[in-house]
Structure formats: structure tokens, C-alpha cells
Amino acid sequence: MTTNDGIQVSVLGLGAMGSALAAALVRAGHETTVWNRSPGRADDLVAQGARAATTAGDAVRASRLVIVCLLDHASVHEVLDPLAGDLAGRTLVNVTTTSPDQSRELAAWAADAGIAYLDGGIMAVPSMIGQPGSSILYSGSADAFRRYQPLLDVWGDSTWFGEDPGLASLYDLALLAGMYVMFAGFMHGAAMVAPAGVTAAKFATMAAPWLTAMTGAFHEFAAVIDGGDYTVDGQQSLEFSDLGDILAASAAQGISTEVVATVQRLLHRQIEAGHGKEGFARIIESIKHPA
């Protein structure tokens, strides 16, 4: 079923995320055409009201707006290169996970073919699409973003970061970096207490509120980093932050020290350079300037 203001849109790629995106569009009343390389993936969406295209070309030709959610950068080119002529004059929104440089390369390819290009980074898992907490980051064509933002908002909060098509990917991967390192820290802690008979579930009941509270320090670190003065009063010094006790306790529990040792190395590079009295935020200098 479509509404009077429904936009014709095609979704290429029906993995877990692509299917979630397409389903949300159908629910919002948009005339949605879907395509997937392997057959059968569109059946549930067709039952909900989508139209299945036999080929990627048929899907592209069905709509002025084309959403691509495929495996990787190479698969995007594999599917779209033969369809450059059909895509000309249309808008392409690529939400496939790519690197910033890959996003810029695809944008240049699209510009040469006369395709309006918008790159997207999805900050959600499939079950979150269309629900509170879902957000998608965009960069590339400002005109395309303005024109289609009401549709994009169906999936979650939409934020445009600028004309540079690589910015959405850069923010996406930077945020994921913080997430994965945090997850690894939690798992290190769970591994530390496991030999004492503590389950991961029990440890999580303590770790979740503790880590949530600690995220409040992000803004304090950011102010110091942006100010460039790591000697500001009130910071915990690098010397005081030494992680030797954590490393020793981890080794005594018979677990790997790799996660914590990485932070220790970043910290000690700054101490060895004579900055031990300065604040912990200074380890960003070790990250920004690899040894």
C-alpha cells in the first residue's frame, strides 16, 4: 500500500540490514522495489507489500531513488558498474560499510556517470531500524539529502556532515572503534573475574552502570584535547594512571594482557617522552603520532 506522498524507492541488497531498511520503507507507505542476488530473500518483503525485481537493472529503472546495502565496496561496483547508464539522473544512497576513501571513490564514479550520490553510515543493528535510538550519518550531495530526508528519517535520526562523501564513513568507523575497544575492555574484565567463579552476567551488572557513568568523562577529555593543554589542573596524571597492577593481576589470573597492555604502551610512550606529570588525555598524542 502506498500513500499520496510515498516516494518510489528501490533497495538493492536484502541481507539482514537491507531487509530491515526495505521493510521500514514499506511500512511508511513508500512504493518499494527490492532486489537481491540470491533468490528467495524478497519473499517476506513481497508479502508485506514490496515488489521484487528480477534483476538489479529492473530495480534501478523502477525508481528515481536507489538504496544500496551490499557486502562491501567491491560488491557495490560489481552490481552497479554495468548499470551506470540506467543510474544517470537518479539518486544513489550507499549505506554499504566502506572506508572514507572508498566512499569518495564511489562518489567520483557516480559524478562521472551523472548520478547524485549520498553516502550513509548506519549506527544501528537491523532490529533498531525505525525505532528510537537508530541514527544514520550521511555525507555527499546536500541537494539529495534535503530532498529525501523525510524518507531517510523513516530509518532513524538523519544527520548530514557535509559535501565530502567520506565524512559519514569516517564518523561511522570512528564511533565503531570506540565501541569495539569498550567491548574488549568489558570482556577483559569478565575474563579476569571468571577464575574466581564470577559469571559474565554477574560482572555485567556492575560493569554496565560503571562504564555508563565513565562516559561522562568524554566531554572533559575533549575539552583538554581541543585546548591542547594537558597540564590543566584536575586531571589524573599519566604516572598515576600506570596500569601495572591491572597487568599483574591479569597475568596472575592466567589471562591475556593484550587489551590492557596496548593502553599501557600508549601511556608509557608519553611518560618516556617526559610528560608523566601531565593528564591521561595526553595518550591521544601516542595515537595521533604512531611510534
Report whether pLDDT(291) > 90: no
84 vs 9, 95, 114, 193, 278, CA distance in Å?
Answer: 17, 18, 9, 56, 55
Burial 248-277 (b: 16+ CB within 10 A, else e): eebeeeebebebbeebbebbbbbbeeebbe
Closest CA to 119 of 97, 88, 86: 97
Assign domain 179-288 to a CATH class. mainly alpha
Q: DSSP of 166-232, one letter per residue?
A: THHHHHHHHHHHHHHHHHHHHHHHHHHHGGGT--HHHHHHHHHHHHHHHTTHHHHHHHHHHHT-TT-
- Note the pLDDT tens digit of each residue in 54-78: 999 999 999 999 999 999 999 999 9
Average pLDDT of span 148-152:
97
Q: In terms of Cα–Cα distance, which of 33, 66, 67 is closest to 49?
A: 33
Please state, in angstroms and rounded to a whole number, the distance separating the CA atoms of residues 76 and 94.
8
Q: How far apart are CA 131 and CA 135, in angstroms?
A: 9
Q: What is the CATH number of domain 9-170?
A: 3.40.50.720
Per residue in 243-284, pLDDT (tens digit) is: 999 999 999 999 999 999 999 999 999 999 999 999 999 999
Residue whose C-alpha cell is 564470577: 198
Residue 217: what pLDDT?
Answer: 95
pTM for the complete prediction? 0.92
How do residues 223-237 score in pLDDT, each as one tens digit?
999 999 999 888 999
Torsion of CA 266, 270, 272, 273, to 10 degrees: 140
Which residues of the chain form CATH 1.10.1040.10?
179-288
According to CATH, where is 3.40.50.720 located in the chain?
9-170
